[in-house]
Amino acid sequence: MSISVSSPDGAVPATVRLMDARGIDVRDVVVARPSLDDVFLDLTGRPADDPGPRGDEADDGFLAPSGDPGREPSGQANGGRP
């Protein structure tokens, strides 16, 4: 059985007590925090090592307006002054 909680404070003892009260034998308890990979998968829906879409499908919204990643569009590097 796996139980996910957003606030783990007190969740383990309360769960074990509830299971014991219902006659469920608890043999082992493991508490784990999500890894960075778990969080990435939850937020993006794909594993971190998945390169994602290619070519025209790749639109992550992180291209500079000039279309060239990392380059400031003309006239923008100095606060819009030429």
pLDDT (tens digit per residue) in 21-56: 999 999 998 888 889 998 999 899 999 888 777 655
| Burial degree of 31 (CB within 10 A; 0-12, 13-18, 19+) | exposed
Query: Which pLDDT band, with edges at 50, 70 and 90, does 2 fall under?
Result: confident
Backbone Cα Rg of the chain? 24
pTM above 0.95, yes or no: no
